[in-house]
Structure 1
Amino acid sequence: MKFAISISMERFSPADLMSDAMSNMLALARIADEGGFETLWTAEHHTIECTVSPNPFTILTWLSQHTQRIRLGTATLVAPYWSPIRLAGEAAMCDHLTGGRLEFGIARGAYQYEFDRMAGGIPQQEGVGYMKELVPAVQKLWAGDYAHDGHYWKFPLATSVPKPLQQPHPPIWVATRDPGSFDWAVGIGANILSTPLSAPPAEVAVLGEKFRKAVADHPEHPRPRFMMQRRTCVYDRPDDWETAVRHSVDYGRTFENLMQNIGTVKDGFPEPVPYETVANRANYDPANIRDNLMFGTPDEVIRKLQIYEDQGVDQYCLGLSFNLPFELQVKTLRLFIDEVMPHFAARDTAHERASRGEPSVAAAGY
Structure 2
Amino acid sequence: MKFALFMNMERFSPANSMQDVMAHMRTMAVMADEGGFETLWTAEHHTIESTISPNPLQVLVRLAQHTDRIRLGTAALVAPFWNPIRLAGEAALCDHLTGGRLEFGIARGAYPYEFDRMTGGTTPREGTHFMREILPAVLKLWSGDYAHNGHYWRFPLATSVPKPLQKPHPPLWVAARDPGSFDWAVGIGANILSTPLSAPVAEIGVLAERFRTACAAHPERLRPKFMMQRRTCIYDRSQDWEKAVSYIVDHGRYFENLMQNSGTVTNGFPEAVPFKTMADHGKYDPPAIRDNLVFGTPDEVIPKIEVYEAAGVDQFCLGLSFNLPFELQIRTLRLFIEEVMPHFAARERAVAASPPAAGGA
User: TM-score with structure 1 length normalisation?
Assistant: 0.96
Deviations 1:130-169 (A, max 9, x none): 0000001101111111111110011111111100000000
CA distance in 2, matches of 1:148, 1:73: 27
What's 1:6 paired with? Answer: 6
CA distance in 1, matches of 2:356, 2:268: 55
Deviation at 1:356, TM superposition (A): 6.1
Pick which of 117-126 and 220-229 moved more: 117-126
Provide runs of 4+ in structure 1 moved above 6 Å.
Answer: none
Matches within 5 A, 1:204-215: 204-215=204-215
- The unaligned stretches of length 5 or more in structure 1 are 358-366
Deviation at 1:355, TM superposition (A): 6.5
What's 1:364 paired with? Answer: none
Deviations 1:217-261 (A, max 9, x none): 000000000000011000111011112210001111111100111
Deviations 1:27-48 (A, max 9, x none): 0000000000000000110000
Deviation at 1:176, TM superposition (A): 1.2
CA distance in 2, matches of 1:356, 1:138: 44
Matches within 5 A, 1:1-366: 1-354=1-354
Deviations 1:196-225 (A, max 9, x none): 000100000000100000000000000000
CA distance in 2, matches of 1:253, 1:180: 30
Deviations 1:265-316 (A, max 9, x none): 0000001111112122221101101101110010111010111111110000
CA distance in 2, matches of 1:79, 1:355: 47
Q: 1:261 to 1:355 in 2, by over 3 A?
A: farther
3-state SS of paired residue (1:103): strand
3-state SS of paired residue (1:12): coil
CA distance in 1, matches of 2:182, 2:280: 24
CA distance in 2, matches of 1:138, 1:165: 15
Q: Do the aligned partners of 1:282 and 1:288 also contact (CA within 8 Å) in 2?
A: no
3-state SS of paired residue (1:161): coil
* Code of the aligned partner of 1:228: M
CA distance in 2, matches of 1:67, 1:228: 23
CA distance in 2, matches of 1:210, 1:281: 27
Deviations 1:57-84 (A, max 9, x none): 1110000000000000001100000011
CA distance in 2, matches of 1:321, 1:296: 17
How many residues are treated as equivalent by the alignment? 358
Q: Do the aligned partners of 1:87 and 1:138 also contact (CA within 8 Å) in 2?
A: yes
CA distance in 2, matches of 1:5, 1:279: 29
3-state SS of paired residue (1:317): strand
* Code of the aligned partner of 2:238: P
CA distance in 2, matches of 1:123, 1:253: 21
Question: Percent same amino acid at aligned positions?
Answer: 72
3-state SS of paired residue (2:354): helix
3-state SS of paired residue (1:230): strand
* Code of the aligned partner of 2:55: N
User: TM-score with structure 2 length normalisation?
Assistant: 0.98
* Code of the aligned partner of 1:339: E
Q: 1:187 to 1:355 in 2, by over 3 A?
A: farther
CA distance in 2, matches of 1:85, 1:352: 45
CA distance in 1, matches of 2:72, 2:356: 32
Q: 1:355 to 1:329 in 2, by over 3 A?
A: farther
CA distance in 2, matches of 1:305, 1:355: 26
